[in-house]
C-alpha cells in the first residue's frame, strides 16, 4: 500500500475530526477522556494545527495555544466537569452569570462552579471551534497530570507548591513570584522565560478584563481535574448537546430573526426602493472614513491630510464619531436575535460632502442622484455567513405584501491567513475553495490589484474557506498554495457567502450582474513560525490594509460605474 503524504494524512485527520464531531452532536453526549474523546484527540494530534504549536509533543505544555484558547473560551471553563452546548434557552430570568470571552463573540452561562452552558447561535462552525478548544485543553491537562504525578509516592514538590499557592488565593510578588514561575515552568516543561511571558500576558487580561483566572490557577485547575478523575473515577469531564441544539442545526433559526429585523428596519426608514449595497466588514472602518473627518471638524480639531493618520487620531473617539454620524444619515441597528451581528445603515444622500476627508474620491453628484444606502454588517462566523446572507437576500413580507430590496452590490472585507506574503498584505479572491468538500465557487471579483495604492502588497487568487482556524495544518496549506490550486489565503466565511449569493441568483432574488467584491487583509501567515494567530493581534500594522480596502470599496460604490472621478 502506498504511504500517504503529510498533507493527505492531515486531510484525513480533518475529515475524521469533522465526522466524529457531527456524530457526537447527534449522539448527544461524550467524555473527552473517554474512547470517543480520545479519537477526537488522536485526529487533532495527527492534524497538528499550527495554531496549537507543540500540542502533539507529550513532553511540554503548549503555552501560546493555551493562551489563544483561554482568550476565546469563557472564564472558569477550566474548572467545569459539565459543559452543555445548547440552543438559545431562556436564561434572562435566572441568576446564572452571563460570560462573554475576551476574543470571541459567544455567550455562555455559568450554571454552577462545575457546570457551564454554551449558547450556540453561529451554527456548526461554532460547535467545531468549541470542540477543538475543549479537546486541546484536555490534551494539555493530561500532560500536566503526568508531570505532576510522576512519582511513586504521589505528586511532585512543584505541584504541591502550586497547590499551596492557588489555595491561599493570593498573588505572589518579587522573589516569591520568580520561584513560583520557576516551579510552574518545571511542571509545564517550558523555560522560565516562556512561562513568565504567558503568565504576564494572561495576568494582564485577568486584571483588566477579568477574562481568565490567571496562569497559576488555570494550570492547577485543569491538572487537578484529571488527578481527581484518575484517583476517584467520578466527576469526569462530560460534554452534552441538548435536543434543542440538534433540532436547530441547519434551520437558520437565528439568521431568520436577524434578517427579518433588519428588513423591517430598512422598510421603516423608507429604503424599500433605494439601491442597497451590502458590506460585510468591521464596525468602524466604513463609519470612520465617511464621518471621521466631520467629527473632528465639529470639535474644532484639524484633520490630518493622511487618511491613516486621521484614523489613528479618532481610534479612541468612537462615541463622538457615531454621535456626529447619527446627524448625517447614520443608523445603528443593534442585533437582538442572538446572532451577534450588528448593522450600520448609512443613507449616503445625507452625508455632508464638505466634511469628507480630502483623500476620499466620491462623486457626490452621483450620490445625490442615486441615493445609495449602505448596509454594513458585522463579521459572521464560518457557516453562519451562509445562513445570514441567504436570509437577507430572500424577499420578505409586510402586511401580506411581498417586498424585494434592490441589492446592487455585496462586498466582503475580512481578515484572513495569507500563504505567499506576510501580515498586513491584501488578498483578492478569484474563487473560493471549500475545504473538505467538492464545492468550489468562481468569483467575478469587482476588485483588482490596480485599485490599491502603493505601500501594501496585493495578491490575487483562490481563497480556501476552511472549517475553522483551529483545524489548520501547514502541509495542507502548503499543498493548496503550491499545487494547481495556487491559493493565496485561507478564511472562514467567503465560500459560504458566495454559496448564498449563487442560490439567490438561481432563485431570481438578485440580479446575476450584481457586483461582488472580496478583499482580505492578512492577520497571520500560518506557514511562517511566529506569524500564526496564536502569536497575537496585528495592532497598528492592521490600520493601513483595513482602511485601504474600506476606502476602495466605498469608491466602487459611490462613483459611476465603480470608478473614482479623476
Q: Are 473 and 3 in contact (CB under 8 A)?
A: no
Q: Mean of the per-residue pLDDT values for the chain?
A: 91
Query: Which CB contacts under 8 angstroms, 24+ apart, belong to 193-202?
Result: 194/63, 195/63, 197/63, 198/63, 198/64, 198/66, 198/67, 201/67, 202/67, 202/70
Where are the alpha helices (H) located in 315-401, listed in sequence order?
A: 318-326, 364-370, 384-392
Instruction: Give the phi and the psi of residue 300 in degrees, each rounded to 5.
Output: 75, 25
For residue 150, is pLDDT > 80?
no
Among candidates 513, 267, 275, 509, which has minimal Cα distance to 394?
Answer: 509
3-state secondary structure of 365: helix
Task: Give whole-number Cα distances, 39 to 33, 48, 52, 337, in Å.
Answer: 10, 14, 18, 35
Cα–Cα dist 222/225, whole Å = 5
Q: Are 298 and 337 in contact (CB under 8 A)?
A: no
Residue 564 confidence (pLDDT) = 64
Where are the alpha helices (H) located in 189-284, listed in sequence order?
A: 192-209, 215-232, 243-248, 253-268
Return all residues near 55 (Cβ < 8 A) that are at least 6 apart: 44, 45, 48, 49, 62, 65, 136, 139, 140
Residue 402 confidence (pLDDT) = 86
pLDDT tens, position by position, 290-347:
999 999 999 999 999 999 999 999 988 999 999 999 999 999 999 999 899 999 999 9
Helix H, strand E, coil C: the string for 405-429 is CEEEEEEEEEEEEECCCCCCCEEEE
Cα–Cα dist 198/218, whole Å = 12
Residue 116, C-alpha cell as written in the block: 457551564
Q: Are 11 and 433 in contact (CB under 8 A)?
A: no
Given pLDDT bands bounded at 50, 70 and 90, which one contains residue 253? confident
Give the number of residues written for the chain: 566
Helix H, strand E, coil C: the string for 535-559 is HCCCHHHHHHHHHHHHHHHHHHHCC
Burial class (CB within 10 angstroms; exposed 0-12, middle 13-18, buried 19+) of 105: middle
Residue 398 confidence (pLDDT) = 78
Q: Which residue do the cell numbers 493618520 mark?
A: 309
For residue 534, is pLDDT > 80?
no
Cα–Cα dist 307/293, whole Å = 9
3-state secondary structure of 189: coil
Beta-carbon-side half-sphere exposure of residue 86 (alpha carbons within 13 Å): 16
Residue 236, C-alpha cell as written in the block: 469526569
Higher pLDDT, 530 or 91: 91
Strands 238-241 and 82-86: parallel
- Mean pLDDT of the 13-18 span: 90
Residue 469 confidence (pLDDT) = 80
Residue 407 confidence (pLDDT) = 96
- Mean pLDDT of the 209-214 span: 94
For residue 566, is pLDDT > 60?
no
Domains of the chain: residue spans and CATH:
6-246 (no CATH), 252-562 (3.40.50.1580)
Given pLDDT bands bounded at 50, 70 and 90, which one contains residue 472? confident
- Mean pLDDT of the 144-166 span: 88
- Mean pLDDT of the 66-82 span: 96
- Mean pLDDT of the 526-553 span: 79
Given pLDDT bands bounded at 50, 70 and 90, which one contains residue 561? confident
Residue 134 confidence (pLDDT) = 97
Cα–Cα dist 203/217, whole Å = 11
Beta bridge partners of 518: 412
Residue 474 confidence (pLDDT) = 81
Given pLDDT bands bounded at 50, 70 and 90, which one contains residue 495? very high
For residue 99, is pLDDT > 90?
yes
For residue 540, is pLDDT > 80?
no
pLDDT tens, position by position, 179-200:
999 999 999 999 999 999 999 9
3-state secondary structure of 465: strand
- Give percent of the chain with pLDDT exceeding 90: 74
Residue 538 confidence (pLDDT) = 62
For residue 242, is pLDDT > 90?
yes
Given pLDDT bands bounded at 50, 70 and 90, which one contains residue 539? low
Number of H helices, E strands in the chain: 18, 18
Amino acid at each position: 500500500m502506498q504511504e500517504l503524504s503529510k498533507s493527505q494524512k492531515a486531510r484525513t485527520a480533518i475529515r475524521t475530526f469533522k465526522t466524529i464531531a457531527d456524530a457526537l452532536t447527534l449522539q448527544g453526549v461524550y467524555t473527552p477522556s473517554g474512547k470517543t474523546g480520545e479519537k477526537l484527540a488522536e485526529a487533532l494530534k495527527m492534524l497538528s494545527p499550527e495554531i496549537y504549536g507543540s500540542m502533539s509533543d507529550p513532553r511540554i505544555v503548549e503555552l501560546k495555544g493555551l493562551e489563544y484558547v483561554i482568550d476565546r473560551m469563557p472564564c472558569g471553563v477550566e474548572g467545569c466537569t459539565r459543559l452543555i452546548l445548547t440552543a438559545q434557552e431562556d436564561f434572562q430570568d435566572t441568576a446564572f452569570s452571563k460570560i462573554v470571552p475576551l476574543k470571541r463573540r459567544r455567550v455562555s452561562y455559568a450554571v454552577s462552579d462545575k457546570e457551564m452552558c454554551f449558547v450556540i447561535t453561529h451554527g456548526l462552525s461554532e460547535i467545531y471551534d468549541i470542540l477543538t478548544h475543549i479537546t486541546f485543553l484536555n490534551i494539555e491537562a493530561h500532560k500536566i497530570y503526568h508531570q505532576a504525578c510522576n512519582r511513586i509516592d504521589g505528586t511532585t514538590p512543584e505541584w504541591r507548591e502550586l497547590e499551596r499557592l492557588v489555595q491561599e488565593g493570593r498573588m505572589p510578588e518579587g522573589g516569591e513570584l520568580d520561584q513560583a514561575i520557576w516551579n510552574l515552568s518545571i511542571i509545564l516543561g517550558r523555560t522560565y522565560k516562556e512561562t513568565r511571558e504567558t503568565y504576564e500576558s494572561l495576568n494582564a487580561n485577568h486584571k483588566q478584563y477579568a477574562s481568565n483566572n490567571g496562569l497559576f490557577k488555570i494550570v492547577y485547575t485543569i491538572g487537578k481535574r484529571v488527578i481527581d478523575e484518575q484517583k476517584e473515577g467520578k466527576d469526569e469531564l462530560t460534554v452534552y448537546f441538548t435536543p434543542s441544539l440538534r433540532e436547530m442545526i441547519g434551520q437558520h433559526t437565528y439568521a431568520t430573526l436577524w434578517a427579518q429585523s433588519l428588513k423591517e428596519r430598512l422598510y421603516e426608514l423608507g429604503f424599500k426602493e433605494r439601491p442597497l449595497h451590502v458590506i460585510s466588514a468591521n464596525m468602524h472602518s466604513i463609519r470612520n472614513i465617511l464621518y471621521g473627518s466631520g467629527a473632528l471638524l465639529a470639535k474644532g480639531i484639524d484633520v490630518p491630510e493622511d487618511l491613516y493618520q486621521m484614523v489613528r487620531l479618532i481610534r479612541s473617539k468612537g462615541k463622538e464619531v457615531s454621535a456626529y454620524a447619527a446627524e448625517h444619515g447614520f443608523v445603528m441597528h443593534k442585533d437582538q436575535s442572538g446572532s451577534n451581528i450588528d448593522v450600520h445603515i448609512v443613507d449616503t444622500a445625507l452625508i455632508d460632502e464638505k466634511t469628507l476627508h480630502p483623500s476620499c474620491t466620491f462623486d457626490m453628484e452621483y450620490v445625490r442622484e442615486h441615493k445609495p444606502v449602505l448596509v454594513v454588517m458585522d463579521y459572521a462566523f464560518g457557516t453562519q455567513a451562509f445562513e445570514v446572507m441567504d436570509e437577507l437576500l430572500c424577499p420578505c413580507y409586510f402586511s401580506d405584501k411581498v417586498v424585494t430590496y434592490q441589492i446592487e452590490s455585496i462586498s466582503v472585507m475580512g481578515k484572513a491567513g495569507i500563504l505567499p506574503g506576510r501580515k498586513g498584505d491584501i488578498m483578492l479572491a478569484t474563487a473560493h475553495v471549500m475545504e473538505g468538500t467538492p464545492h468550489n465557487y468562481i468569483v467575478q471579483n469587482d476588485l483588482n490589484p490596480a485599485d490599491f495604492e502603493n505601500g501594501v502588497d496585493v495578491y490575487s487568487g483562490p481563497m480556501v474557506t476552511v472549517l475553522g482556524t483551529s483545524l489548520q495544518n501547514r502541509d495542507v496549506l502548503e499543498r493548496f498554495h503550491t499545487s494547481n490550486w495556487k491559493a493565496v489565503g485561507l478564511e472562514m466565511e467567503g465560500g459560504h457567502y458566495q454559496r448564498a449569493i449563487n442560490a439567490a441568483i438561481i432563485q431570481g432574488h438578485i440580479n446575476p450582474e450584481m457586483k461582488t467584491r472580496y478583499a482580505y487583509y492578512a492577520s497571520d501567515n500560518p506557514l511562517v513560525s511566529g506569524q500564526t494567530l496564536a502569536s497575537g493581534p496585528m495592532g497598528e500594522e492592521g490600520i493601513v490594509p483595513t482602511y485601504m480596502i474600506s476606502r476602495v470599496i466605498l469608491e466602487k460604490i459611490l462613483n459611476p460605474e465603480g470608478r473614482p472621478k479623476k
